[in-house]
Amino acid sequence: MSDRSPNITTNDPFGSLLGYAPGGVAIYSSDYNTADEKEFPNDAAFRSYVGREYMGYKWQCVEFARRYLYSECSNVFATFVSSVRIFSSSPSSMIYAFISASDKISDFLLSLALS
């Protein structure tokens, strides 16, 4: 039996498009060991923005959660160390996200909160 999670099916290099979440939000590989040092010479090069909104460090879970909620629900959250803090620190914003989003987005957000 493999030591890898059955959910991990690729070994794609950093920044490779892995697929799309409901609503069409892109999911990228966050394999930092394969990041090109010329393209990402320092920490600042890893910062992800949508317009002028800071999402986090490419392509970590916190960045994805913020980008997803921003894209699908127009919610912007403060910077967090861990994506679980998004759900535990701003319950009123999360209630708004559930109410304002479609059923598939709500289901996806719930799966993030429960994982």
For every residue of 9-53, DSSP letters joined together read ---PPTT-EEEE-TTS-EEE---GGG--TTT--SGGGGEEEETTE
Q: Which one-letter amino acid corresponds to residue 100?
A: S
Which position among 21, 35, 45, 61 bears the catalytic label?
61
Contact criterion met (CB below 8 Å) for 60 and 86 = no
**Catalytic residue flag (residue 73):** no
pLDDT digits 0-9 by tens, 78-103:
665 555 555 555 545 444 444 444 44
Indicate yes or no: pTM above 0.75.
Answer: no
Contact 81, 60 (CB under 8 A): no
Contact status, residue 86 vs residue 68, Cβ threshold 8 Å = no
**In this model, does residue 14 exceed pLDDT 90?**
yes
